[in-house]
Chain A
Amino acid sequence: MPLIEITDVRKRFGDNEVLKGIDLDVKPGEVIAIIGKSGSGKSTLLRCINGLEIIDGGSISVAGSQLLPDEVHLKALRLKVGMIFQQFNLFPHLTAGGNVILSQTVVKKTPKREAEAMARKMLERVGLAEKFDAYPDELSGGQQQRVAIARALAMEPIALLCDEVTSALDPELVAEVLAVVRELAAEGMTLLMVTHEMKFARDVCSRVVFMHQGRVHEIGPPEDVFAKPKTPELKQFLGVQ
Protein backbone atom coordinates (compact mmCIF):
# COMPACT_ATOMS: atom_id res chain seq x y z
CA MET A 1 0.00 0.00 0.00
CA PRO A 2 1.71 3.21 -1.14
CA LEU A 3 1.93 6.13 1.28
CA ILE A 4 1.82 8.79 -1.40
CA GLU A 5 -0.18 8.11 -4.56
CA ILE A 6 0.31 10.48 -7.44
CA THR A 7 -1.91 9.63 -10.40
CA ASP A 8 -1.85 11.35 -13.79
CA VAL A 9 -1.14 14.77 -12.26
CA ARG A 10 -1.27 17.70 -14.64
CA LYS A 11 -0.41 21.30 -13.98
CA ARG A 12 -0.25 24.25 -16.30
CA PHE A 13 0.78 27.86 -15.83
CA GLY A 14 -1.11 29.72 -18.55
CA ASP A 15 -0.19 28.10 -21.84
CA ASN A 16 2.76 26.30 -20.36
CA GLU A 17 1.99 22.73 -19.32
CA VAL A 18 4.54 22.06 -16.61
CA LEU A 19 3.39 18.60 -15.53
CA LYS A 20 2.06 16.38 -18.31
CA GLY A 21 0.62 13.44 -16.43
CA ILE A 22 2.81 12.29 -13.55
CA ASP A 23 2.32 8.87 -11.98
CA LEU A 24 4.35 8.03 -8.92
CA ASP A 25 3.70 5.83 -5.90
CA VAL A 26 5.85 6.21 -2.81
CA LYS A 27 5.98 3.45 -0.22
CA PRO A 28 6.41 4.19 3.50
CA GLY A 29 10.07 4.75 4.39
CA GLU A 30 11.17 5.30 0.81
CA VAL A 31 13.64 8.06 0.09
CA ILE A 32 13.08 9.45 -3.38
CA ALA A 33 15.32 11.90 -5.17
CA ILE A 34 13.81 13.89 -8.01
CA ILE A 35 16.44 15.13 -10.43
CA GLY A 36 16.27 16.95 -13.73
CA LYS A 37 17.04 20.21 -15.46
CA SER A 38 15.50 23.45 -14.19
CA GLY A 39 12.10 23.82 -15.80
CA SER A 40 11.53 20.09 -15.91
CA GLY A 41 8.71 20.42 -13.37
CA LYS A 42 10.39 18.77 -10.39
CA SER A 43 9.81 21.59 -7.90
CA THR A 44 6.26 22.08 -9.19
CA LEU A 45 5.52 18.41 -8.58
CA LEU A 46 6.74 18.71 -5.01
CA ARG A 47 4.69 21.86 -4.43
CA CYS A 48 1.59 20.14 -5.82
CA ILE A 49 1.87 17.34 -3.29
CA ASN A 50 1.04 19.59 -0.33
CA GLY A 51 -1.24 21.89 -2.23
CA LEU A 52 0.97 24.96 -2.62
CA GLU A 53 0.06 24.65 -6.28
CA ILE A 54 -3.43 23.58 -7.27
CA ILE A 55 -3.35 20.70 -9.73
CA ASP A 56 -5.35 20.93 -12.96
CA GLY A 57 -5.89 17.22 -13.40
CA GLY A 58 -5.24 13.83 -11.82
CA SER A 59 -5.18 13.08 -8.13
CA ILE A 60 -2.82 13.01 -5.17
CA SER A 61 -3.41 11.29 -1.88
CA VAL A 62 -1.22 10.91 1.18
CA ALA A 63 -2.06 8.08 3.59
CA GLY A 64 -5.67 8.23 2.57
CA SER A 65 -6.00 12.04 2.64
CA GLN A 66 -7.09 13.30 -0.75
CA LEU A 67 -5.66 16.57 -1.97
CA LEU A 68 -8.66 18.86 -2.39
CA PRO A 69 -8.37 22.63 -2.66
CA ASP A 70 -10.33 23.65 0.44
CA GLU A 71 -8.90 24.65 3.79
CA VAL A 72 -10.12 21.59 5.73
CA HIS A 73 -8.69 19.01 3.32
CA LEU A 74 -5.49 20.96 2.79
CA LYS A 75 -4.92 21.17 6.53
CA ALA A 76 -5.47 17.42 6.98
CA LEU A 77 -3.01 16.70 4.21
CA ARG A 78 -0.42 19.22 5.37
CA LEU A 79 -0.43 17.70 8.85
CA LYS A 80 0.83 14.52 7.21
CA VAL A 81 3.36 16.07 4.86
CA GLY A 82 5.95 18.58 6.01
CA MET A 83 7.92 20.75 3.63
CA ILE A 84 11.42 22.27 3.70
CA PHE A 85 12.20 25.12 1.34
CA GLN A 86 15.27 26.27 -0.51
CA GLN A 87 15.08 29.68 1.19
CA PHE A 88 14.39 28.23 4.68
CA ASN A 89 11.45 30.62 5.20
CA LEU A 90 11.89 30.83 8.95
CA PHE A 91 9.62 33.37 10.64
CA PRO A 92 12.06 36.25 11.23
CA HIS A 93 10.11 37.77 14.12
CA LEU A 94 10.35 34.59 16.21
CA THR A 95 13.30 32.82 17.84
CA ALA A 96 14.37 29.38 16.66
CA GLY A 97 12.34 27.93 19.53
CA GLY A 98 9.39 30.17 18.67
CA ASN A 99 9.51 29.00 15.08
CA VAL A 100 9.24 25.38 16.16
CA ILE A 101 6.58 26.07 18.80
CA LEU A 102 4.20 28.26 16.78
CA SER A 103 2.51 25.80 14.46
CA GLN A 104 2.18 23.18 17.21
CA THR A 105 0.23 25.54 19.45
CA VAL A 106 -1.72 27.24 16.65
CA VAL A 107 -2.55 24.32 14.38
CA LYS A 108 -2.51 21.31 16.69
CA LYS A 109 -3.53 23.23 19.84
CA THR A 110 -0.71 21.57 21.74
CA PRO A 111 -0.34 23.12 25.23
CA LYS A 112 2.53 25.60 25.40
CA ARG A 113 4.61 23.53 27.80
CA GLU A 114 4.44 20.38 25.66
CA ALA A 115 5.11 22.33 22.50
CA GLU A 116 8.19 23.85 24.08
CA ALA A 117 9.47 20.44 25.20
CA MET A 118 8.91 19.14 21.68
CA ALA A 119 10.73 22.15 20.24
CA ARG A 120 13.73 21.56 22.49
CA LYS A 121 13.76 17.91 21.52
CA MET A 122 13.59 18.66 17.79
CA LEU A 123 16.24 21.37 17.94
CA GLU A 124 18.48 18.94 19.79
CA ARG A 125 17.82 16.37 17.10
CA VAL A 126 19.16 18.74 14.43
CA GLY A 127 22.09 19.68 16.67
CA LEU A 128 20.91 23.16 17.65
CA ALA A 129 19.76 22.73 21.25
CA GLU A 130 21.79 25.76 22.33
CA LYS A 131 20.19 28.02 19.69
CA PHE A 132 16.69 27.88 21.16
CA ASP A 133 16.62 31.62 21.89
CA ALA A 134 18.49 32.80 18.78
CA TYR A 135 16.67 34.74 16.08
CA PRO A 136 16.96 33.53 12.48
CA ASP A 137 19.21 36.45 11.48
CA GLU A 138 21.68 35.36 14.16
CA LEU A 139 22.05 31.94 12.57
CA SER A 140 24.03 30.76 9.56
CA GLY A 141 22.19 29.46 6.52
CA GLY A 142 22.90 25.87 7.48
CA GLN A 143 21.61 26.47 10.99
CA GLN A 144 18.49 28.19 9.68
CA GLN A 145 17.77 25.26 7.42
CA ARG A 146 18.19 22.85 10.31
CA VAL A 147 15.73 24.92 12.37
CA ALA A 148 13.33 24.68 9.43
CA ILE A 149 13.71 20.91 9.49
CA ALA A 150 13.08 20.88 13.25
CA ARG A 151 10.00 23.05 12.70
CA ALA A 152 8.61 20.60 10.17
CA LEU A 153 9.47 17.56 12.32
CA ALA A 154 7.73 19.01 15.37
CA MET A 155 4.42 18.57 13.54
CA GLU A 156 5.20 14.84 13.40
CA PRO A 157 4.60 14.42 9.66
CA ILE A 158 4.71 11.00 8.04
CA ALA A 159 6.54 12.33 5.02
CA LEU A 160 8.78 15.29 4.25
CA LEU A 161 9.13 17.19 0.99
CA CYS A 162 12.54 18.78 0.53
CA ASP A 163 12.74 21.40 -2.22
CA GLU A 164 16.42 21.93 -3.05
CA VAL A 165 17.21 22.34 0.62
CA THR A 166 20.92 22.93 0.13
CA SER A 167 20.86 25.07 -3.02
CA ALA A 168 20.92 28.38 -1.18
CA LEU A 169 23.77 27.37 1.12
CA ASP A 170 27.46 28.11 0.96
CA PRO A 171 29.37 24.93 0.10
CA GLU A 172 30.82 24.46 3.56
CA LEU A 173 27.32 24.50 5.10
CA VAL A 174 25.80 21.87 2.82
CA ALA A 175 27.22 18.92 4.71
CA GLU A 176 25.60 19.76 8.05
CA VAL A 177 22.15 19.91 6.48
CA LEU A 178 22.64 16.75 4.45
CA ALA A 179 23.81 14.96 7.59
CA VAL A 180 20.46 15.74 9.22
CA VAL A 181 18.53 14.58 6.15
CA ARG A 182 20.62 11.42 6.00
CA GLU A 183 19.79 10.70 9.62
CA LEU A 184 16.07 11.17 8.95
CA ALA A 185 16.30 8.73 6.07
CA ALA A 186 18.08 6.22 8.29
CA GLU A 187 15.31 6.56 10.87
CA GLY A 188 12.76 5.55 8.25
CA MET A 189 11.20 8.91 7.41
CA THR A 190 9.57 8.98 3.99
CA LEU A 191 11.36 11.64 1.98
CA LEU A 192 10.76 13.19 -1.41
CA MET A 193 13.59 15.48 -2.33
CA VAL A 194 14.33 17.63 -5.29
CA THR A 195 18.09 17.84 -5.29
CA HIS A 196 21.21 18.66 -7.25
CA GLU A 197 23.40 16.69 -4.85
CA MET A 198 23.94 13.65 -7.05
CA LYS A 199 26.36 11.95 -4.71
CA PHE A 200 23.93 12.30 -1.84
CA ALA A 201 21.08 10.97 -3.99
CA ARG A 202 23.22 7.97 -4.95
CA ASP A 203 24.16 7.22 -1.33
CA VAL A 204 20.89 7.74 0.46
CA CYS A 205 17.97 7.27 -1.90
CA SER A 206 16.00 4.13 -2.55
CA ARG A 207 14.77 5.40 -5.90
CA VAL A 208 15.69 8.20 -8.25
CA VAL A 209 13.19 9.94 -10.51
CA PHE A 210 14.54 11.75 -13.55
CA MET A 211 12.10 14.32 -14.84
CA HIS A 212 12.23 15.77 -18.31
CA GLN A 213 9.79 18.21 -19.91
CA GLY A 214 7.03 17.61 -17.40
CA ARG A 215 7.17 13.81 -17.43
CA VAL A 216 8.84 11.10 -15.40
CA HIS A 217 11.44 10.18 -17.97
CA GLU A 218 13.31 7.50 -16.10
CA ILE A 219 12.88 5.96 -12.68
CA GLY A 220 14.74 3.29 -10.76
CA PRO A 221 17.16 2.49 -7.97
CA PRO A 222 20.14 4.87 -7.92
CA GLU A 223 22.64 2.25 -9.06
CA ASP A 224 20.62 1.79 -12.28
CA VAL A 225 19.77 5.41 -12.93
CA PHE A 226 23.27 6.72 -12.32
CA ALA A 227 25.32 3.80 -13.67
CA LYS A 228 23.13 2.60 -16.53
CA PRO A 229 21.08 5.51 -17.84
CA LYS A 230 18.84 4.29 -20.66
CA THR A 231 17.68 7.45 -22.37
CA PRO A 232 19.88 10.01 -24.16
CA GLU A 233 18.31 12.83 -22.11
CA LEU A 234 19.42 11.29 -18.82
CA LYS A 235 22.85 10.51 -20.24
CA GLN A 236 23.20 14.12 -21.26
CA PHE A 237 21.95 15.36 -17.88
CA LEU A 238 24.46 13.18 -16.05
CA GLY A 239 27.21 14.09 -18.46
CA VAL A 240 28.03 10.51 -19.48
CA GLN A 241 28.31 9.22 -23.01
Chain B
Amino acid sequence: MEISVPGVGSVLVVEDDADLRAAVADILEDAGFEVHVAENGQDALHVFGELGHQGERPGLVLLDLMMPVMDGFAFMAHVRADPGLSQVPIVVFSASVREPPEGARAMLRKPFEIPLLLDTVAGFCAQG
Protein backbone atom coordinates (compact mmCIF):
# COMPACT_ATOMS: atom_id res chain seq x y z
CA MET B 1 0.00 0.00 0.00
CA GLU B 2 1.39 3.38 -1.01
CA ILE B 3 1.11 6.16 1.44
CA SER B 4 1.85 9.53 0.02
CA VAL B 5 3.23 11.99 2.50
CA PRO B 6 3.73 15.61 1.56
CA GLY B 7 6.99 17.26 2.63
CA VAL B 8 9.23 14.32 3.48
CA GLY B 9 11.79 15.09 6.22
CA SER B 10 13.87 13.38 8.93
CA VAL B 11 12.34 12.07 12.14
CA LEU B 12 14.15 11.10 15.34
CA VAL B 13 12.33 8.26 17.13
CA VAL B 14 13.23 8.06 20.84
CA GLU B 15 11.81 4.90 22.40
CA ASP B 16 13.30 2.39 24.82
CA ASP B 17 11.15 -0.54 23.64
CA ALA B 18 13.27 -1.92 20.74
CA ASP B 19 10.37 -3.65 18.92
CA LEU B 20 8.11 -0.64 19.03
CA ARG B 21 11.01 1.62 18.06
CA ALA B 22 11.78 -0.62 15.08
CA ALA B 23 8.10 -0.91 14.06
CA VAL B 24 7.67 2.87 14.09
CA ALA B 25 10.94 3.38 12.23
CA ASP B 26 9.93 0.83 9.56
CA ILE B 27 6.53 2.42 9.03
CA LEU B 28 8.00 5.90 8.77
CA GLU B 29 10.78 4.76 6.44
CA ASP B 30 8.21 2.93 4.28
CA ALA B 31 6.34 6.21 4.13
CA GLY B 32 9.47 7.93 2.85
CA PHE B 33 10.76 9.67 5.98
CA GLU B 34 14.39 9.66 6.92
CA VAL B 35 14.46 8.07 10.34
CA HIS B 36 17.01 8.24 13.15
CA VAL B 37 16.55 6.24 16.36
CA ALA B 38 17.63 6.58 19.97
CA GLU B 39 17.09 4.38 23.04
CA ASN B 40 16.63 7.14 25.55
CA GLY B 41 16.97 10.89 26.06
CA GLN B 42 20.71 10.82 26.48
CA ASP B 43 21.13 8.71 23.37
CA ALA B 44 18.89 11.19 21.55
CA LEU B 45 21.07 14.10 22.56
CA HIS B 46 24.02 12.15 21.29
CA VAL B 47 22.27 11.61 17.93
CA PHE B 48 21.48 15.33 17.82
CA GLY B 49 25.16 16.00 18.33
CA GLU B 50 26.25 13.66 15.53
CA LEU B 51 23.72 15.09 13.13
CA GLY B 52 24.81 18.56 14.09
CA HIS B 53 28.40 17.75 13.05
CA GLN B 54 27.07 16.87 9.62
CA GLY B 55 25.12 20.09 9.47
CA GLU B 56 21.80 18.29 9.84
CA ARG B 57 18.89 18.56 12.18
CA PRO B 58 15.81 16.30 12.54
CA GLY B 59 12.57 17.92 11.44
CA LEU B 60 10.62 16.17 14.25
CA VAL B 61 11.25 14.19 17.41
CA LEU B 62 8.91 11.35 18.35
CA LEU B 63 9.55 10.95 22.02
CA ASP B 64 8.56 8.30 24.54
CA LEU B 65 8.21 9.68 28.10
CA MET B 66 9.03 6.72 30.33
CA MET B 67 12.59 5.65 29.60
CA PRO B 68 15.61 4.61 31.56
CA VAL B 69 18.82 6.71 31.83
CA MET B 70 17.15 9.94 30.71
CA ASP B 71 13.39 10.11 30.40
CA GLY B 72 11.38 12.21 27.98
CA PHE B 73 10.79 15.03 30.47
CA ALA B 74 14.49 15.48 31.16
CA PHE B 75 15.21 15.35 27.43
CA MET B 76 12.69 18.11 26.74
CA ALA B 77 14.22 20.22 29.48
CA HIS B 78 17.61 19.85 27.77
CA VAL B 79 16.23 20.69 24.38
CA ARG B 80 14.41 23.77 25.66
CA ALA B 81 17.60 25.04 27.25
CA ASP B 82 19.57 24.67 23.98
CA PRO B 83 18.84 27.57 21.55
CA GLY B 84 19.97 25.44 18.60
CA LEU B 85 17.47 22.66 19.39
CA SER B 86 14.55 24.47 20.98
CA GLN B 87 12.83 25.03 17.64
CA VAL B 88 12.64 21.30 16.80
CA PRO B 89 8.99 20.18 17.25
CA ILE B 90 8.46 17.27 19.64
CA VAL B 91 5.55 14.82 19.64
CA VAL B 92 5.37 12.52 22.62
CA PHE B 93 3.89 9.07 22.71
CA SER B 94 2.85 7.79 26.07
CA ALA B 95 0.46 5.49 27.83
CA SER B 96 0.49 7.23 31.16
CA VAL B 97 -0.47 10.86 30.40
CA ARG B 98 -3.50 12.18 28.64
CA GLU B 99 -2.37 15.68 27.67
CA PRO B 100 0.82 16.71 25.86
CA PRO B 101 3.30 17.87 28.52
CA GLU B 102 4.88 21.33 28.33
CA GLY B 103 7.32 21.51 25.45
CA ALA B 104 5.51 18.94 23.29
CA ARG B 105 3.50 20.00 20.23
CA ALA B 106 1.24 16.94 20.14
CA MET B 107 0.73 13.53 21.65
CA LEU B 108 0.11 10.00 20.46
CA ARG B 109 -1.49 7.80 23.09
CA LYS B 110 -0.21 4.29 23.10
CA PRO B 111 -1.29 2.11 21.56
CA PHE B 112 -1.66 4.20 18.43
CA GLU B 113 -2.43 3.10 14.90
CA ILE B 114 -0.57 3.67 11.66
CA PRO B 115 -2.83 6.31 10.05
CA LEU B 116 -2.71 8.51 13.15
CA LEU B 117 1.06 8.12 13.35
CA LEU B 118 1.57 9.08 9.71
CA ASP B 119 -0.91 11.99 9.83
CA THR B 120 0.76 13.43 12.87
CA VAL B 121 4.32 13.13 11.58
CA ALA B 122 3.37 14.40 8.14
CA GLY B 123 1.69 17.43 9.68
CA PHE B 124 4.89 18.56 11.42
CA CYS B 125 7.28 17.60 8.70
CA ALA B 126 5.22 19.37 6.10
CA GLN B 127 5.44 22.49 8.22
CA GLY B 128 9.16 22.07 8.77
Q: Do A and B bind each other?
A: no
